[in-house]
Amino acid sequence: MSRPRSNRRVFAVLLVVALLVAGVASYYASSHPDGLEYVAGKTGFLETADEDGPSIDSPLADYGTEGVDDERLSGGLAGVAGVALTLAIGGGLFLLIRRRDPADKTGD
């Protein structure tokens, strides 16, 4: 008889896979612009875009990590940071919602 899988083990494996995809697979990502930039270039409104958007001073702006000279390493670090940040925010929201007291189901 097989033993049931632990949720922690499954989450740990999924975390490792997500970090590998973000950190390693990004090394092989296309150097071509993303879809929005491609369409903007094809339709002729790319020149009107605001190059200095609100996130331009962010340490992870433009799919890279500020201060890292190697472009591929910079992108990989930004991907790992993005995964970690997304999981932290999502996990925090999950814990916030989960810890709420359930509504009184008896109707009293």
* Cα distance between residue 63 and residue 82, in whole Å: 10
| Cα separations in angstroms, 19 against 7, 14, 24, 45, 90 | 18, 9, 8, 35, 16
* Cα distance between residue 45 and residue 12, in whole Å: 44
Give the other-Cβ count within 10 Å of 21's Cβ: 13
Look at residue 3 in the predicted model and tell me its pLDDT: 67
Band of residue 89 on the pLDDT scale cut at 50, 70, 90: very high
Q: What is the pLDDT of residues 7-59, one digit of tens each?
A: 889 889 989 999 898 888 877 776 666 777 788 888 888 777 766 667 777 88
Q: Above pLDDT 70, what percent of the chain?
A: 78
Which residue type sits at 14? Answer: L
Greater model confidence, 6 or 66: 66
